[in-house]
Amino acid sequence: MRKITLFSLALGLAVAVLMFMPMRHVAAMQTISQSDVIVDGQTYDQELVISGDNIIFNGTAHKDVYVTGANVTLSGQFDRNVFIAGAKVTLRDATVNRSVYLAGSDVIIDDAVIARNVFAVGGNLDVNAEVKESVFAATGQLVLNGSVGENVNTFAGKALINSTIGENLVLSAGDVTLGENKVAGEIYTYSTPEIDLRKDDSQSTEQARESQDTETFAHKLKIEFYEESYKFVSLALLTYVLIFFFPVFTNRIVSALDNKAGSWAKGFIFGIATLGGLPILALLLTVTVVGIPVAAFLMGLMFALLLVGKLFADTAIGVLIVKRLGWEDPRMVKAVLVGRLVALLIGLIPIFGALYAFVLSTIVLGTFARLKYNSFKLK
């Protein structure tokens, strides 16, 4: 095995660029947007955009497909690229004749054939597929089975590689398990420290142990650096994806969290009230058959907002800082990076970092609830 150093950060940046390169403006496009989307057996000749809470697609698409939703399940024939963003994403029993671009909390690719590449960013990625070219992944946890025709380039907190790889395997992860894999090329890794206690026969055992401790500490620092770099790049990319798919919602949340302290305080108060009251309401709704799906939707919405809420809050903080600096940033590109940098620095403080994340998620949840309450009140 060979060690690599700055490759992981470069990989994360490359994934970010590659995710957005194919996203171009198209005139001819068909749109499906509703709460529950079920497609079974239909064929689409135009580029297709699907958005909703629960999406099940089993059909044929001859052009690019863009999908965003809370729970997304895709299968069938896709003649061009597939772009998916969601909380839970499943691509199963599918044939994709170009590449797949994925962003999600839990991503599963099962029994699929992908003619080109897989680009994935998210929490957990489980792949059991035939990928003709390469896999590029920046995830919290990666499980890779099946076969990859060319290279596997991965940046992960934890990785299990148990696949046939046609060329090189490039790994950067805090915890790596290499299963019964067959790698035709080289394995490049920056994951496990290679420490040899028998470097010098003249060294005493105590000196050797001190040397080992020093190298292990240095390795841990490097691993933490790469993990934080991964978080910065992947969460910034996920924020850009959310802004791309939900521009109106993003602008409403960011506008509501202006530079007045009262806006943030109201958001936190409404957030605490929502956290306490919504589960009780959902429990009461489950008494009736009709209320069960409503309760499930409300709880799912609450958890989704808690999961991604901090990203919107970080962006709002970035917008305030960018405005104070007098920078032009109509598409929030700089704001996302500034907000992520602030979150990264605060996250380095052990207890305060976790508290900061909870408070921001609660504020966004409360801001959403406050906006809905105000809209109902106006009606």
- Can you give the residue ranges of every domain in the chain? 2-189, 247-378
Asked if the model's pLDDT at residue 298 lies above 90, the reply is no
Report the C-alpha gap between 143 and 128 in whole angstroms: 8
Of 149, 152, 107, the residue nearest 130 (C-alpha): 149
**Bridge partners for 90 per DSSP:** 73, 108
As a dihedral over the C-alpha atoms of residue 65, residue 70, residue 73, residue 79, rounded to 10 degrees, the angle is 10
296 — phi, psi (to 5°)? -65, -40
Q: Name the 3-class secondary structure at 43.
A: strand
Burial class (CB in 10 A: 0-12, 13-18, 19+), 147: middle
Task: Please list, in sequence order, all residues whose beta carbon lies within 8 angstroms of the beta carbon of residue 326, skipping any fewer than 6 positions away.
Answer: none
pLDDT digits (tens, 9 = 90+) for 25-82: 444 678 898 888 999 999 999 999 998 889 999 999 999 999 988 899 999 999 999 9
Burial class (CB in 10 A: 0-12, 13-18, 19+), 374: exposed
* Local structure of residue 241 (DSSP, 8 states): H
pLDDT digits (tens, 9 = 90+) for 320-373: 888 888 888 877 888 889 988 888 888 777 777 778 888 888 888 888 888 887
pLDDT digits (tens, 9 = 90+) for 71-119: 999 999 999 999 988 888 999 999 999 999 988 888 999 999 999 999 8
Report the C-alpha gap between 367 and 277 in whole angstroms: 15
Query: What radius of gyration, in Å, describes the C-alpha atoms of the chain?
Result: 23
Q: Sign of the C-alpha dihedral, residues 38, 41, 42, 45?
A: positive
- Kindly indicate the confidence band of residue 276, based on its pLDDT and cuts at 50, 70 and 90: confident
